[in-house]
Structure 1
Amino acid sequence: MNRLLDKNDNLSIIIAGMFAIIIGLGVARFAFTSLIPFMLEDYLNITFAGILASLNFAGYLAGSILSIFIKDINQKVVLFRVGIFLAIISTLVLGFSTNETLWIIARIVAGFAGAMAFVVGSAIVMMKLQIESKTKVMGIHFSGIGFSILTTDLISRYVLSSGGTWQDSWIILAICATILSFYSIYILSFDEKVKQNVVKHKFDTSIFSIFVIILIMAYFTEGVGFVVQGTFLPDIINNLPGLEGYGNITWTLVGLAGIPSCIIWMRLAHKYGSINIIIIALLLQTIGILIPTFTNNIYLNLLSGVFYGGTFVGLVGLFMNLGGQLAKNNPVVLMGALTTSYGIGQVIAPLYSVYLIERYGNYDYALYLTAFIVFGGVLLLLIAKKFQTQRV
């Protein structure tokens, strides 16, 4: 027990980091996907749901870019705490109000809060860990994304199965987040102000080689690929003939598949090369996106959830790890470029999706376009291999 309350113990740091991911990504972001089928029944329409998703990602993008340029770890701790607080408050708004303006503000704030809890929180975890191979341990930390999907989905389903409404689910999720927040805020802090010597490096434009530019463009396609299923997957499955009610089971599998994905893909990249493994992951994601468009077979559609959960977490780790290797002395600049590219894809995808859904009355064309864009990322990376002049 004493070990779990030790701020400097690696186990407690990892647990606190995972709790932060559950709050910032699970409650403030992915729970929205889990509850979409129920909110569509008596409150949301598909267009407003897409707009809310886009605004949430816009808030996350703004927070992610801000966090990259905050160097002082003491400021990061403050931002982390603010993010945790905002994640909880913005979630409560959804439970107590149906005012559209408040929902718009809440989803933007929730996106920003998610970036503070996840991006900034991960930086604090990275600094506090006292272990030689931090990269491997961070793989365990990022498995918290899968846990965040799984836990928030199970909580929501329990509330709904017990006779509660989707609004009750938001309130219970906020209460659970509040309980977890005490531990995260306590552990992910420092007993005294940390003194840092920030080394400034001259901006080196040479890092933006043709290979890196293509890599940034490919990460945009993954931003698109992440969003459509990450926003609508339960409703996509529920709308297939004979699969009504299976949407949330598929979403549960997304969370389960996401837990080990980062660790597995990173090990494969170390053995076979990052670009080769990214291409394979993107191809699997493309197949998963297309499955609901050509079959209503339950097993294949459950597999689409596994393909999605098993790729999107790992792809973030693969792209960012490769970017870190290529960044030389300018990690902030390159990570900022990659994050911005990915974020723009996240913001755009829900908007074209709802347009196509409204026009054609189903999800097929939104999924076709999304799969086409993700496959474009594969083609870009095949081209990039020709310009890969250094071993990464």
Structure 2
Amino acid sequence: MKNINLLDKNSNSAIILAGIIALIIGVGVARFVFTSLLPPMLENYLTVSFAGILASVNYMGYLAGSIFAVFIKDVYTKVKFFRLGMVISIATTFVLATTHNEILWLISRVIAGFGAAMALVVGSAIVMSKLKIDNKTKAMGIHFSGIGFSILVSDLIVRGVFSFDGTWEDAWLVLTIFAAVASIYPIYVLSFGKKVNTNVVKHHFDIKLFTPFVILLILAYFCEGVGMVVQSTFIPDIINSLEGLEGYGNLTWTIVGLAGIPSCIIWMNLAHKFGSVNIIIISMSLQVVGILISVLTNNMYLNLLSGVLYGGTFIGLVALFMSLGGKLAGSNPVILMGALTTAYGVGQVLAPLYSVALIEKFGNYDYALFLTAFIVSSGVVLLLISKILKIVKD
């Protein structure tokens, strides 16, 4: 059996591990841990309204970073921006630990969103470039399990801080220290040695890519962007607001992370067997069920199941949509991937804003969840229409 050297930056195992750690820092610490800390921050600092605004501006930063990342071609430039993303993720977390200034929080969340994009989009591109393996699809499935790990690890750190009677400010500080130390490994591994000559192929805008099916796919991905962000922002507080489930919110969020770890690999394997569109329809439908559970019942087990359904779908759906988009784009991926990313990002930005408005008007999460379920269901309907009209390219 070949020895695994995790200090060899050209080892496939080291590359995948570094990619997962980068996601824990850039996506977990810089984004998802905000959800873990939302209930205690709502108790003595944040309002639901301001929390929604912070979530929205964070996704604005992520959207801008994702679109920017699409146009970075040179691998050495990618490395520079990836490292910048690591630094941003650490610095913006430190801001939340050391100040209560709302303007600084807004600025830090926007910048943190950009850093998360550098970690996820650019970091994943570097991982794919460095891997020396025939079947990169399976390897990238393992890499994207890091999104599930990012939720789980960051949530466990928060739980550890509170187990020692720490405050949410203490949690942000511990997360800053953790990210600073952990970032050393991915910064070391996800880099390249001597300069190599790479031919950058420039692609021009091709309107022919935007077939009726691609347009429906883009609209469906917008709907999924909406479905992803409402629960990722509010699910602990949603669960805690249900009668008899006070205190179960963070447990549900932990379950989201656990369910998310294997989801990408499972859904991608199913898509290979049964077709991407069919599996996307099934996954989005399950997500709708998960969204509606908290509106229809306060049963503890069913609401824990809602966490499983959310964590088990949203990460896999990103991989499914982007993989299908890449397949449809062929040798000209930039415009189509950018369009998908933009649609998803717009959904992420809008969802917290309408959620806040509905929560403030009705005093609960029910109408925000009903509207979110309707929008995600609309995405399912769009894809069903593509199958009825037989314009699917799977």
Task: Normalising by structure 1, report the TM-score.
Answer: 0.98
Give the Cα–Cα distance (whole angstroms) in 2 for the partners of residues 364 and 374 of structure 1: 15
Partner of 2:329: 327
User: Are residues 1:281 and 2:293 paired?
Assistant: no
Aligned match of 1:171: 173
Report the CA distance between 1:374 and its aligned residue. 0.3
Question: How many angstroms does 1:384 deviate by?
Answer: 1.3
Name 2:113's counterpart in structure 1. Answer: 111
Which of 153, 177, 186 in structure 2 is aligned with 1:151? 153
One-letter amino acid of the structure 1 residue matched with residue 11 of structure 2: D
**Aligned residue type for 1:161:** S
Q: Which runs of 5+ in 1 are unaligned?
A: none
Aligned to 2:82: 80
- Deviation at 1:329? 2.4
Question: 1:249-302 CA deviation, whole Å, 9 max, x = no partner?
Answer: 000000000000000000111111111110000100000000010111000000
Cα deviation digits, residues 58-109 of structure 1 (max 9, x gap): 0000000000011111100000000100000000000000000000001001
Counterpart amino acid of residue 242 in structure 1: G
State the distance in 2 between where 1:193 and 1:297 align: 58
Contact kept? 2:386, 2:392, Cα under 8 Å: no
Give the total of aligned pairs. Answer: 392
Q: How does 1:30-109 map to 2 (within 5 A)?
A: 30-109=32-111
Is contact 1:74–1:194 with CA below 8 Å preserved after alignment? Answer: no
Secondary structure, counterpart of 1:362 in structure 2: coil
CA distance in 2, matches of 1:237, 1:136: 34
Equivalent of 2:344 in 342, 355, 361: 342
1:271 to 270, 273, 276: 273
Corresponding residue for 2:127? Answer: 125
Deviation at 1:389, TM superposition (A): 4.2
Please say if residues 203 and 334 of structure 2, whose CA atoms lie closer than 8 Å, have aligned partners that are also in contact.
Answer: no
Counterpart AA for 1:295:
T
Amino acid in structure 2 at the alignment position of 1:97: T
C-alpha distance in 2 between matches for 1:204 and 1:55: 31
Which residue number corresponds to residue 206 of structure 1? 208
Paired residues of 2:29 and 2:179 also in contact (CA < 8 A) = yes
Counterpart-to-counterpart distance in 2, 1:361 and 1:90 = 31
- What do you get for the CA RMSD once the two structures are aligned? 1.1
| SS of match in other structure, 2:169 | helix
TM-score for both structures, normalised by structure 2: 0.98
Residue pair 2:259, 2:312 contacting (<8 A) in 1 also: yes
Amino acid at match of 1:138: M
The amino acid of 2:264's aligned partner reads C
Aligned residue for 1:14, secondary structure, equals: helix
Note the C-alpha offset of 1:386: 3.5
TM-aligned CA deviation for residue 2 of structure 1: 7.6
State the alpha-carbon separation in 1 of the partners of residues 312 and 101 from structure 2: 36
Report the residue type matching 2:114 in the other structure.
F
Tell me whether 1:3 sits opposite 2:5 in the alignment: yes
The yes-or-no answer on 1:252 pairing with 2:254 is: yes
Q: Percent of aligned pairs with the same residue?
A: 67
Q: Distance in 2 between matches of 1:242 and 1:372?
A: 27
Structure 2 distance, partners of 1:257, 1:194, is 40
Instruction: Tell whether the 8 Å contact from 1:211 to 1:388 is kept in structure 2 after alignment.
Output: no
Counterpart CA distance in 1 for 2:203 and 2:226 is 33
Give the partner amino acid of 1:107: R
Distance change >3 Å, CA 70–CA 388, structure 1 → 2: farther
**Gaps in structure 2 of 5+ consecutive residues:** none
